[in-house]
Amino acid sequence: MIKISTDIFEAKKILEKEDLVVIPTETVYGLAGNIYSIKAIDSIFKTKNRPSNNPLIVHIDSYEKLADLVEEIPEKAKKLAEVFWPGSLTLVLKKKKSVPYTITAGKETVAVRVPNHQLTLELLKKLDFPLAAPSANPFGSISPTSAQHVVDYFKDTLEMVLDGGDCVNGIESTIIGFENENPILYRLGSLSVEEIESIIGPIKIMNENNSSPMAPGMLSRHYAPKTKTIVSENIKEELKKHKNLKIGLLLFKDDIDSCENIVKEILTNKKDLKEAATNLYAAMHRLDRKNLDLIIAEKFPNNSLGKSINDRLNRATK
């Protein structure tokens, strides 16, 4: 039976015996293990039912530790880390020999970030190894943004979730790699493209339809509720097509009349995209528990974090 706790000393003990602990971050909860332990990494993949060709993100507590993991740090990577770490930016860089291929799924690059969560930073400081941590959900399903979401998924299979409260950003980190020093955005996330570009200038966004995606977070179906989900630009029109169904609505604007067969989740009352991103997964989890016939999500404005939200909504519908 999983324990919900804030005891980082106990978390440390579990990790040191090469077992797993779920850690809070500002984006989503992560299923964490020692990057140098074959046993721990193997159980991350098994617990999530994650394909072994899907590499993991390595978590460290400071920029200084990046040099232990990667061969070189391009100038633009350095600039981004200076501005956004600790924070929701993952950098994909050429790995050092010492970083195991089990983490990188055989790639020569490794994904690294410094999460912005006090409890997890304290834990990382006490450990003498970094933590690999994919989102703490079964492969393909909605990421957890609270300790309770983690318990719902893994109550019988894991020992401990370190409770750091609700995740303040609520969607995963933005992933950036480099090709010949040129930055490429592999996954939209908690840091908007606009914020990234304000520091390093224009950035190429990885083509989603690429047949061998660099980041499987870019795979088309991902972050998906069990309930059938669609995205619509016109909720009122869409509702007319599904008159006899029990429907959940994920809304940006609250301009739909309440009625008996509709459950509404309004992601923000202030048209605030950041607030909407924070609430997105928790609202999806709630709707998914209600035995609805259909979830209709409203398409968000396609700028700033609206882009990242639309990305997640589109993947939830595939």
Residues that bind ligand TXA (CB under 6 A): 25, 27-28, 30, 54-57, 90, 92, 104, 107, 109-111, 115, 133-135, 172-173, 175, 177, 186-187, 214-217
**SS3 state at 25:** coil
CB-wise, 124 or 239, nearer to ligand TXA?
A: 124
CB-wise, 29 or 252, nearer to Mg ion?
A: 29
Minimum separation from the CB atom of position 89 to Mg ion (A): 16
**DSSP class of 171:** S
Give the C-alpha separation, 292 to 3, whole Å.
30
Q: Decide: is 135 part of the binding site for Mg ion (CB under 5 A).
A: yes
Nearest to 133 by CA among 183, 176, 117: 117
Minimum separation from the CB atom of position 220 to ligand TXA (A): 12
Minimum separation from the CB atom of position 33 to ligand TXA (A): 12
Give the C-alpha separation, 90 to 132, whole Å.
12
Give the C-alpha separation, 64 to 61, whole Å.
9
Extended beta strands in the chain, E state: 3-5, 21-23, 30-34, 57-59, 89-94, 109-113, 131-132, 160-162, 174-179, 182-187, 204-205, 229-232, 247-251, 262-266, 294-298
Give the C-alpha separation, 123 to 131, whole Å.
10
Give the C-alpha separation, 222 to 141, whole Å.
6
Minimum separation from the CB atom of position 143 to Mg ion (A): 5
CB-wise, 177 or 248, nearer to ligand TXA?
A: 177
Question: Which residue reads 């990382």 in tokens?
Answer: 124
CB-wise, 173 or 229, nearer to ligand TXA?
A: 173
Minimum separation from the CB atom of position 174 to ligand TXA (A): 8
Minimum separation from the CB atom of position 113 to ligand TXA (A): 6
CB-wise, 169 or 310, nearer to ligand TXA?
A: 169
The option from Mg ion, ligand TXA, none interacting with 90 (CB < 5 to 8 A, set by class) reads ligand TXA
The option from Mg ion, ligand TXA, none interacting with 34 (CB < 5 to 8 A, set by class) reads none
CB-wise, 101 or 198, nearer to ligand TXA?
A: 101
User: Which residues of this chain interact with Mg ion, rule CB under 5 A?
Assistant: 135
